[in-house]
Amino acid sequence: MLDGWLARGLVPADVTVVEPGLQTLPTGVRHLADPSGLTTAAPPDAVILAVKPQVMDDVLPAYVGLAAARPVFISIAAGRTIASFERALGNDVAIVRAMPNLPARIGRGMTAAVANGNATAGQRALADVLLSASGDFAWLDDEGLIDPVTAVSGGGPAYVFLLAEVLAHAAVEAGIPRALAMQLARQTVTGAAALLEQSTDDPATLRKSVTSPKGTTERALAVLMASDGIGPLFEQAIAAATARSRELAT
């Protein structure tokens, strides 16, 4: 995320990274081992809380004093609700809860976020700029949608990787050498994704463009689109992930 911000013109001197034991940072970015060096005399406009959810309760107390300066706190910790941050930092603090996904590492991510009522229009605009630096971004009106968003786009890259994995395995089972099987699967998945991104057609239209009547693809799709095929399985998978996200919420 920091790389994306700097690439979009954020001045390194305007960034402070609080991280114990950090080894390297881009030139000009300030580093603190703990937040005690942050002061309300020169408060940040935004505080990005990018730590594991299970350690968030240990981290937040150090930022309570900073909350008085009214920055917007942006969390990318899965399962941590807006209410949990309000309990820790104060009910009048501006909170944005965001859910990015793994392709954010290369600037191709999908992030959705929801803000509490304390976030001003300017703070929402700042969050929009920061969170869209790593890919596409969308606001949610209902925090409850974070759970299915987590299931769909948060976990979505794993489902795509699984597709490449099982496609390569099926190729090996059909007699194709393993190295070639992986090449075929990887390039097919990435190439199809690139075509989907560039095309104005929806996925169903693109699928039909590959499917000749009474051809090989049609025969394969008859299996994948059966009543016990990939559609119902994905519905079950997303429902299971959504339920787990709600279980983890604090």
pLDDT digits (tens, 9 = 90+) for 29-40: 998 988 888 876
pLDDT digits (tens, 9 = 90+) for 127-183: 999 999 999 999 999 999 999 999 999 999 999 999 999 999 999 999 999 999 999
Distance in angstroms (rounded) separating the CA atoms of residues 60 and 33: 15
Show the DSSP H helices in 47-177 as ranges. Answer: 56-59, 82-89, 121-131, 146-149, 156-173
Return the domain boundaries, the chain: 2-146, 156-248
> Are 157 and 151 a contacting pair, CB within 8 Å?
no
Q: Is the dihedral of CA 90, 92, 93, 97 positive or negative?
A: positive
At residue 121, the pLDDT reads 98
User: Which CATH number fits the domain 156-248, given the four candidates 3.40.50.720, 1.10.3730.10, 2.170.150.20, 3.20.20.70?
Assistant: 1.10.3730.10
Its CATH class, for the domain covering 2-146, is: alpha beta
- What's the predicted TM-score (pTM) here? 0.89
pLDDT digits (tens, 9 = 90+) for 57-106: 999 999 998 988 999 999 999 889 999 999 999 999 999 999 999 999 89
